[in-house]
């Protein structure tokens, strides 16, 4: 290993080594999973996380496909024990039409979940540590220097009150820094997508909100845990809204075009959020008995982006650090897990035979682009624009397990966002036999 020039930093919470095989930036689902997978195989992994877990995070709805990745990392047992809310399916009220899907009809043997992300993400991070990854929280990576024979990762260690700088040399660096997209920023490879499909999100949390079950009837908050909720999604004139019932609180958020709140300050945006929730049909009923949690308002600005450079001989960008698509189909955490799984494989093989590093990086990048294109075709009507290759996506569609494709196909009838997904499915000859039959049309909701 190259002799490091900067001494490792001794801090209250343990010494950050001067070198390692793999350095992971960020301890969200992507970073924790790739760290767990590599550490499990005996690889020397260091993960630097700028926050201190549990830290708040949005994205509470998980579709059932995620279990196969949790099985790979070995985290499934811990997730099962955590007692998250099992959800029954989804209901959407989109431009006046109500649709419902129930996971039980697809033959999934394990549940979809509504998770408190602070709890879920901490669990994954602890799991990575238990697999042998060296985790250092409150350490923020500033930049990665690719000038030498190996990447040198520069960080600011904020533990113990005093901020001090340091650096660590590694063979592979994996950027899992989420929306910060550290390497994409450094490479200037981050691209925003077409302005018509560029969104921001405003959300907050309510206590005591009613929730909807899969039969379309609503229940009081006290029934959560006894009756399975669905994720409820409704369109409104400016975008769409989610309602996700958690154990104590309900997460409610708007997704709207970035132009919609231009010129508003933060308190005006919060007011816009609250007023929209109050006057949106169905949601107004669910929130009637609820109390909004003061100081729970959050926002994520303009977030539909992708990076044109994902994997190279000694770097990988995964999860939200690689791309982000509108969250309507709950693909974010799944994408993070998928990217982590592909990257662990590529890095593992590259460590065994470094002469093939470039080849593994290229294969991994192709896989990640397939998944990104798949998610994007589902969620964004304007498919086929920059950054997406239709043939790669169709290749991916053919390789997806039938039950997963059928669920996505059924889900794609719940909004009016998926016409390109339908076209790709048709052109790939995958529509036969998997009709929208499992998307049920409903006359009305009993709220
Ligand atoms: C409004 C909204 C709603 C969503 N809803 C859903 C949903 O219902 N279901 C779903 O599956 N997905 C959803 N998502 C997406 C989901 O939240 C993300 O895709 C997921 O969190 C990505 O995981 P990640 O590990 O890539 O990034 P993150 O979870 O963001 O983790 C990145 C980590 O990196 C750390 N970090 C950042 N910069 C640095 C640095 N410089 N140095 C060290 N550490 C750093 C951060 O502190 C963070 O802990 C939603 C997203 C948004 C914006």
- CATH number of the domain that 129 lies in? 3.50.50.60
Closest-CA residue to 31 (of 174, 199, 129): 174
Q: What is the CATH number of the domain that holds 75?
A: 3.30.9.100
d(C-alpha 146, C-alpha 383), whole Å: 34
Q: How far is the CA of 207 from the centre of ligand 1 (A)?
A: 24
Task: Give the pair of three-digit tokens for residue 187.
Answer: 């490479």
Q: Cβ neighbours of residue 430 under 8 Å, at least 6 residues apart?
A: 397, 398, 405
What is the best residue among 28, 297, 299, 338 to mutate for testing ligand 1's pocket, by most ligand atoms within 8 Å of CB?
28
| Cβ contact 244:333 at 8 Å | no
For residue 386, being part of any structural domain is answered with no
Please choose, from the candidates 157, 164, 127, 148, the residue with its C-alpha nearest in 3D space to the C-alpha of residue 37: 127
110 and 131 belong to one structural domain: no
Atom of ligand 1 nearest to the CA of 319: 26
- Find out whether the peptide bond into 144 is cis, omega within 30 degrees of 0: no
Statement to judge: residues 52 and 144 lie in one domain: yes
Say if residue 251 is in the same domain as residue 211: yes
Q: Could you tell me if 128 and 271 lie in one domain? A: no
Cα of 172 to ligand 1 centre, how many Å?
A: 21
Q: Cα(257) to centroid of ligand 1, in Å?
A: 20
312 & 326 share domain: yes
CB atoms within 10 A of CB 284: 12
Phi, psi angle pair for 238, to nearest 5°: -105, 0
Q: Which residues lie below 8 Å from residue 382, measured CB to CB, with a gap of 6+?
A: 193, 194, 196, 197, 420
Among 336, 360, 384, which residue terminates a domain?
Answer: 360
Is the same domain home to 80 and 145? no
Question: 30 C-alpha to center of ligand 1: Å?
Answer: 8
Tell me: do 161 and 239 sit in the same domain. no
Residues 169 and 236 in one domain: no
Which pTM value belongs to this model? 0.94
For residue 395, being part of any structural domain is answered with no
Closest ligand 1 atom number to CA of residue 63? 11
* Last residue in a domain, options 281, 300, 319: 300
Phi and psi, residue 296, nearest 5°? -95, 0
Which stretch of DSSP H or E encloses residue 441?
A: strand 440-442
Residue 413 lies in a domain: no
* Residue with CA nearest ligand 1 atom 9: 330
**Whether residue 345 sits in one domain with residue 255:** no
Would you say residue 313 lies in a domain? yes
Q: Which atom of ligand 1 is nearest to the CA of 32?
A: 25
Q: How far apart are CA 340 and CA 35, in angstroms?
A: 8
Name the closest-CA residue to atom 35, ligand 1: 26
Do residues 237 and 279 make contact, with C-beta atoms less than 8 angstroms apart?
Answer: no
User: Do residues 45 and 76 share a domain?
Assistant: no
pLDDT at residue 377, rounded to an integer = 80
**Centroid of ligand 1 to alpha carbon of 177 (angstroms):** 8
Whether residue 341 lies inside any domain: the answer is yes
Confidence (pLDDT) at 437: 62
List all residues whose CB is within 6 A of at least one atom of ligand 1: 25-31, 48-51, 55, 57-62, 140-141, 176-180, 182, 201, 253, 300, 303, 319-321, 327, 330, 332-334, 336
Both 111 and 127 in one domain: the answer is no
Q: Considering 300, 325, 351, which residue would you say is the last residue of a domain?
A: 300
CA dist., res. 20 & res. 5, Å (int): 14
pLDDT in tens, 142-183: 999 999 999 999 999 999 888 999 999 999 999 999 999 999
| Residues 6 or more apart in contact with residue 53 via CB below 8 angstroms | 27, 118, 121, 122, 125, 137
Ligand 1 centroid–CA 430 distance in Å is 32
Confirm whether 149 is domain-assigned. Answer: yes
The 10s digit of each residue's pLDDT in 3-47 is 333 333 333 457 999 999 999 999 999 999 999 999 999 999 999
| Residues 239, 349 within the same domain | no
Q: How many residues does the chain have?
A: 447
Q: Can you list the residues of the chain whose pLDDT is less than 50? A: 1-12, 383-384
Tally of domains in the chain: 2
317 falls within a domain: yes
Q: Which atom from ligand 1 is nearest to the alpha carbon of 324?
A: 19
Q: Is the residue at 366 inside a domain?
A: no
Query: At how many degrees (to 10) do helices 419-427 and 357-379 cross?
Result: 120
Where in the sequence is the domain holding 102, given as residue range(s)?
61-115+199-300
**Residue identifier of the C-alpha nearest atom 21 of ligand 1:** 333
Question: Which residues of 52-138 form beta strands (DSSP E)?
Answer: 61-62, 85-87, 89-94, 97-102, 112-114, 134-137
């Amino acid at each position: 290993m190259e002799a490091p020039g900067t001494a490792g930093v001794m801090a209250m919470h343990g010494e950050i080594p001067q070198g390692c095989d793999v350095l992971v930036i960020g301890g969200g689902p992507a970073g924790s999973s790739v760290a767990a997978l590599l550490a499990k195989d005996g690889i020397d992994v260091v993960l630097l996380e700028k926050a201190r877990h549990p830290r708040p995070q949005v994205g509470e709805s998980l579709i059932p496909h995620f279990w196969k990745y949790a099985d790979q990392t070995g985290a499934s047992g811990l997730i099962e024990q955590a007692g998250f809310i099992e959800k029954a399916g989804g209901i959407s009220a989109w431009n006046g039409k109500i649709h419902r899907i129930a996971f039980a009809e697809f033959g999934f043997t394990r549940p979809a979940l509504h998770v408190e992300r602070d709890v879920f993400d901490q669990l994954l991070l602890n799991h990575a540590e238990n697999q042998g990854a060296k985790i250092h929280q409150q350490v923020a990576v500033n930049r990665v220097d690719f000038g030498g024979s190996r990447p040198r990762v520069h960080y600011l260690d904020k533990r113990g009150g005093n901020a001090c700088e340091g650096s660590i040399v590694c063979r592979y660096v994996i950027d899992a820094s989420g929306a910060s997209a550290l390497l994409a920023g450094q490479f200037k490879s981050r691209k925003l997508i077409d302005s018509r499909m560029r969104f921001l999100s405003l959300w907050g949390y309510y206590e005591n909100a009613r929730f909807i079950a899969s039969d379309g009837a609503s229940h009081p908050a006290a029934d959560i845990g006894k009756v399975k909720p669905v994720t409820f999604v409704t369109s409104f004139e400016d975008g769409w809204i989610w309602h996700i019932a958690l154990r104590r609180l309900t997460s409610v958020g708007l997704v709207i075009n970035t132009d919609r709140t231009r010129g508003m300050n933060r308190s005006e945006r919060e007011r816009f959020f609250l007023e929209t929730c109050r006057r949106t049909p169905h949601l107004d009923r669910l929130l009637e008995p609820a109390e909004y949690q003061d100081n729970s308002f959050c926002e994520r600005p303009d977030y539909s982006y992708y990076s044109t450079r994902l994997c190279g001989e000694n770097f990988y960008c995964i999860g939200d650090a690689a791309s982000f698509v509108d969250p309507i189909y709950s693909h974010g955490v799944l994408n993070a897990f998928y990217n982590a799984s592909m990257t662990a494989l590529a890095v593992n093989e590259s460590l065994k035979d470094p002469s093939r590093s470039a080849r593994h990086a290229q294969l991994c990048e192709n896989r990640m682009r397939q998944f990104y294109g798949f998610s994007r075709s589902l969620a964004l009507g304007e498919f086929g624009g920059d950054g997406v290759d239709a043939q790669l996506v169709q290749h991916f569609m053919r390789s997806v397990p039938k039950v997963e494709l059928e669920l996505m196909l059924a889900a794609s009838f719940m909004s009016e966002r998926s016409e390109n997904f339908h076209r790709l499915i048709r052109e790939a000859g995958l529509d036969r036999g998997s009709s929208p039959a499992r998307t049920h049309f409903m006359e009305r909701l009993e709220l």
